[in-house]
Structure 1
Amino acid sequence: MAFTDEEIAYLRSHALGRLATVDAGGQPDAVPVAYEFDGEVFWVGGTGESVLRTRKIRNVRAGNRRVALVVDDMVSFDPFVARGVRIYGDADGPVERTGMMGPGVFLRIVPRVSWSWNMAGEPVGANWYEARRAEH
């Protein structure tokens, strides 16, 4: 199973998410990141030499390839409307490529499993949003 057309449209309409990696000591690190989604994999990185010194790049280079990426937004607080996609995947790289910010260095994230909620953008009801789980 893969992303639905609705999930793909949502992921392509956003460019900011939060990426979590883990260091050699097991310490999680979550950071806001710009990302690109090509329909199959996610690309996270940037331009300039400093991107190679970021924790996300260092953690993946050290062999800690399992990552989590969350893309979500708040459509409204009144009524309460939230939606999003959470992805568990495997990262490799860094890879030199031309991305949305031009040439740079990027992690390539291949999704393994994802959860999405409220792609339709409906107000929350009596129960919290039910998530759709997909294996990739």
Structure 2
Amino acid sequence: MSFTEEELAYLRSQPLARLATLAPDGEQPDVMPVAFEFDGEHFWVGGSGPSVLATRKVRNVQAGRHAVALVVDDMVSFDPFVARGIRIYGRAEPPVERVGMMGPGFYVRITPTVSWSWNLEGKPVGEEWYPAHRAEH
């Protein structure tokens, strides 16, 4: 199953995500805000210059920790409380050279495996928390 049209529109509207990778010792997860692009099939995270290869997220993937989590979300309003987003579990591959959103550089490709989206229509929270739409990719 792929992302819905509503999910695709939301992903195109957001410039930032949070990427979680796992350290080589398997003990400590690491999360960082990242710019991303989505080509309709894969997420790409990286940047220009060789310095991106020294980042913890890239080193974790290169060390064989391919399971990652990516969260794209935003707060529409605090009063009333309106949150929305998409959480993606996926498999990351070591960086490749390509021209991406930040120009030529090194980018990690993430293939989504499972995702959950909530409240993409941007409604205030009710008596219960937002239900999630789950999809396998």
Q: What TM-score range do you get, normalising by the shorter chain?
A: over 0.9
Structure 1, unpaired ranges of 5+ = none
- Once the two structures are superposed, the pairs formed by residues 57-72 of structure 1 within 5 Å of their partners are 57-72=58-73
Where do 4+ consecutive residues of structure 1 move more than 6 Å? Answer: none
Q: Which residue of 2 aligns with 1:15?
A: 15
- Once the two structures are superposed, the pairs formed by residues 1-136 of structure 1 within 5 Å of their partners are 1-26=1-26, 27-136=28-137
How far residue 59 of structure 1 moved from its aligned partner, in angstroms, is: 0.6
CA-based RMSD: 0.6
Identity of aligned residues (%): 71
How far residue 101 of structure 1 moved from its aligned partner, in angstroms, is: 1.2
Structure 2, unpaired ranges of 5+ = none
SS of corresponding position for 2:36: strand
- TM-score normalized by structure 2? 0.97
Q: How many residues align?
A: 136
How far residue 93 of structure 1 moved from its aligned partner, in angstroms, is: 2.0
